[in-house]
Amino acid sequence: MYGLLLFLVLLAGLAILVAFRTTGLKGVSAAPDEQTDANLAPVVPNDAPPGEANEPSEPAAEPNKQKPAEPNDKQPLRPAHKHPAFTERVAERARMVDWQIEGRGIKNPNVLTAMRVVPRHAFVRETEQRYAYADYPLPIGYEQTISQPYIVAFMTEALKLDPNSTVLEIGTGSGYQAAVCAEIGREVYTIEIVEELAKAAKKHLKELGYRNVSVKAGDGYFGWPERAPFDAIIGTAAAGRIPEPLIQQLKPGGRMILPYSDAEGLQYLLLITKDQKGNLQKSTVMPVRFVPMTGEVLKSENKSNE
């Protein structure tokens, strides 16, 4: 009798203890593992209304979607290669680079890539297109020529362009040299004294997608002061005098290359570098043959010869 009573008492005590522990733990969760949860995004129910404590403050970014540019960010206008000419005669351009350019010592990878990309045949007249990737200059009308591919590559490499370079070209011609520079640098400003060529090059470069090239008709002797200074200046017509405005518009640390004609009529490429103090260093790098520069430079040459 007493044994049964003791058993009932113990059973009742056990029931009270279980009820107390269950009531005391209600609404309490274990402390989170801070090291693990710190890298976990909060889970939000699909039907949770806006403003819930666990709702992320910003929506998750879509995969591969870039953040919109800030209004004040100036993104460079890179060439757009959508014109059919870029997909034409690709093998010919590759052979041109392999044999005529890289095979003759041009090593800068940006220059080699640009020469493989720019469709030279799109810059010559239809009657000369079959010779577009030959190793010599071609006529483009108005007694002007498109330069030999190797010379274009050599002069471009000498400028040591990078993606932030701003380039001034004197003598647009067909626009081919400007396009090669535009593939590497940030902006190219090019001047052509023959108005008809300037108009044609401007139209053609726009059609080909060169959004970072600006063309104007004018005398290259005076440069483009509104856009100066320039990291690099390239001339594609020979003169017996270096235009002073071009030296002034060359940025400290910049480089200029242009064909120079001496008193005996011999031409060679002249490389000019300007140090941070404005001092110039000049060196001749290669004998060449370019069309002569016209305009103001002839007046200054005549005065110096008087």
Provide the Cα torsion 149, 150, 152, 153; round to 10°: 120
Determine contact, residues 194/144, Cβ cutoff 8 Å: yes
CATH number at residue 219: 3.40.50.150
Amino acid at residue number 130: R
Question: Would 257 be classed as within a structural domain?
Answer: yes
Stretch among 44-48, 169-173, 278-282 having the lowest mean pLDDT: 44-48
Is it the case that residue 180 has pLDDT exceeding 50?
yes
Q: Do residues 264 and 190 make contact, with C-beta atoms less than 8 angstroms apart?
A: no
- Indicate whether 218 pLDDT > 70: yes
Catalytic residue among 147, 165, 174, 261: 147
Annotated active-site residue 147? The verdict is yes
Would the pLDDT of 114 be above 50? yes
Q: Tell me the β-bridge partners of 272.
A: 256, 282
Answer whether residue 51 is part of any domain. Answer: no
Domain that holds residue 202: 84-305
Which position has the higher pLDDT, 229 or 241?
229
The pLDDT-based confidence of 11 (bands split at 50, 70, 90) is low
Reported as a pLDDT band with limits 50, 70 and 90, residue 143 is: very high
Q: What is the pLDDT of residue 297?
A: 85
Which range is least confidently modeled, 2-6, 26-30, 132-136, 285-289? 26-30
Indicate the angle between helix axes 149-159 and 176-184, nearest 10 degrees: 40
Q: pLDDT category, 14, cuts 50, 70, 90?
A: low
The reported pLDDT for the residue numbered 299 is 75
pLDDT at 29 over 80: no
Structural domains of the chain, count: 1
Percent of the residues in the chain that have a pLDDT greater than 70, as a whole number: 74
CB 172 within 8 A of CB 191: yes
List pLDDT tens digits, range 72-111.
446 778 999 999 999 999 999 999 999 999 999 999 999 9
119 lies in a domain? yes
Residue 145 has pLDDT above 90, yes or no: yes
**Start-end of H helices in the chain:** 2-24, 34-37, 90-95, 109-117, 149-159, 176-184, 195-208, 244-249, 296-305
Per the domain annotation, does 58 fall within a domain?
no
pTM for the predicted model, two decimal places: 0.75
pLDDT band at 264 (very low <50, low <70, confident <90, very high): confident
Task: Quote the mean pLDDT of the chain.
Answer: 82
**Given phi > 0 = left and psi -120 to 50 = alpha, else beta, which region is 260?**
beta
In the prediction, which pLDDT does 211 show? 96
Q: What is the pLDDT of residue 105?
A: 97
Q: What is the DSSP letter of 292?
A: B
Return the pLDDT at 52.
37
- Least confident interval from 75-79, 150-154, 187-191: 75-79
What percent of the chain lies above the pLDDT cut of 90? Answer: 67
**Inside any domain, residue 184:** yes
**How far is C-alpha 242 from the geometric centre of its chain's CA atoms?**
29
Residue 23 lies in a domain: no
Mean pLDDT of 235-260: 95
- The larger pLDDT score, comparing residue 47 to residue 121, is at 121
Any domain includes 122: yes
Q: Region 126-135: what's the mean pLDDT? A: 96
Residue 197 has pLDDT above 50, yes or no: yes
pLDDT at res. 86: 98
The answer to whether residue 266 is domain-embedded is: yes
Strand 166-170 relative to strand 187-192, pairing: parallel
